Amino acid sequence: MSSPAFVENADAWPPLPLDQWCDTYATLHMWTQIVGKVRLALCPYQNHCWQVPLYVSARGLTTSPIPYGAGVFEIEFDFLEHLLRIQTSSGSGKVIPLIPRSVADFYHLFRGELAALGIAAKIWPMPVEIPNPVRFDQDFQHKSYDPLFAQRFWRVLLAVDTVFKEFRGRFLGKNSPVHFFWGSFDLAVTRFSGRRAPPRPEADRVTRDAYSHEVISSGFWPGGGEIKDAAFYTYAAPETEGFGQSQVRPAKAFYDSQLREFFLMYEDVRTSHSPRETLLDFMQTTYEAAAKLGKWDRQELEEPSAK
């Protein structure tokens, strides 16, 4: 395959130790949920809730255009100038500085600026996918913003997004966009076998929709809980017996039996001889292990040059 135009260098893969930016991470997680919920409220439904995520942009993270009235608007976290930009197709807009401020203050200011632009969106003010959630309008605990690490996180996303898109291009079957899920705060890309998955009657609607078909998904996550630092992951749903015992590369990749996912720590990728090649190797070998065990029709689903 041809080499990507993106040139690897050390600055593209900066260190991202969780303990040095965990407070900023927690605050930014809530801010992205607030913005993401506006997209969820106003965008037309797409399969597997693909109307929900954010996308990596040249300056940060963006909603992409959101339809409203006779036009559209877009919300972008700008991690170069540290601003939240709200732009409308009519030419009007608002800017909110990204500075240390509580989630509650950010929530009220953001909703006020939307209202000033004539944009109304009914959202549920409770965070999702985190332990012990606190309503946005009552969260005065999370109030950190370190511009250095906010920008560093975005630069990592830029490098990862480029590699994920290269990996995505190797697959001919149904493929998700490379997108940033504000609920779990991870960047992910998902491949589909084309077959229905066993139903999950006890799951919530979002989970049933997300896993209605067989998938193999890879992603990048800043870390937390059992995974103490930033990491890449791959999982299969449903998971076929033996997946966790598969031989994958590189050697530092490991399987977590509790989370039922393969992981490769970001630090091991960024300090490798070629982060791009190391990451592609991890994604390819974990995908191949799951696809082989799951009896996917790889001849029909994969780009021949990628094999």
Ordered by start, the domain boundaries in the chain are 19-138, 147-306
Alpha carbons 231 and 269: distance in angstroms, whole number:
9
Write the pLDDT tens digit of every residue in 145-156.
Answer: 999 999 999 999
* Confidence tier at 5 by pLDDT (50, 70, 90): low
* Confidence tier at 1 by pLDDT (50, 70, 90): very low
Write the pLDDT tens digit of every residue in 182-240.
Answer: 999 999 999 999 999 998 888 888 888 889 999 999 999 999 999 999 999 999 999 99
Phi-psi group of 215: left, alpha or beta (phi > 0 → left; psi -120 to 50 → alpha; rest → beta): beta
Q: What is the structure's pLDDT at 200?
A: 84
Residue 191 CA: distances (Å) to CA of 58, 149, 217:
25, 31, 6
Q: Structure pTM?
A: 0.95
Q: What is the structure's pLDDT at 6?
A: 58
CA-closest candidate to residue 4, choices 217, 277, 281, 271: 277
Q: Tell me which H or E stretch contains 217.
A: strand 213-221
CA-CA-CA-CA dihedral for 59, 45, 209, 129, to nearest 10? 50
Beta bridge partners of 89: none
